[in-house]
Amino acid sequence: MIPLGLEGPDGGVSYEHCFVGSFLTTSVINFPSMKVTLVNVWHPIGGISISDLNKGHYLFRLYHKIDVDRIEAGGLWTFKSHLLVMHRL
């Protein structure tokens, strides 16, 4: 289990507009480069926060439903030819 520490408006944990994902690779992902690349590709109108959850897992927190829906429907996403597998929370 990976604690995410996201607080909702009522003080509880909120995963609205979030994905957790990992890349199908045994290589180390350059986290700063991956963040810049995905932000530039996705252009989220409401902003995005990408956190490294360790062991190759990442939390993608978006701030607008339109961005979440567009990224989810946008097809397969890759970084340096490594497939990003995401699960909407």
The two structure tokens encoding residue 1: 């289990």
Instruction: Tell me what the pLDDT averaged over the chain comes to.
Output: 89
Measure the CA–CA gap between 57 and 54, rounded to whole angstroms.
Answer: 6
Residue range 35-57, pLDDT digits in tens: 999 999 999 999 999 999 999 99
CATH of domain 19-88: 3.30.70
Which residue is it, tokens 């957790």? Answer: 20
| Mean pLDDT, rounded, for 51-80 | 95
The model carries a pTM of 0.84
pLDDT band of 7, cuts 50, 70, 90: low
pLDDT tier at 1, thresholds 50, 70, 90:
very low
3-state secondary structure of 63: coil
Q: Is the pLDDT of residue 68 over 70?
A: yes
Task: Give me the residue spans of the domains in the chain.
Answer: 19-88
Q: How far apart are CA 20 and CA 15, in angstroms?
A: 10
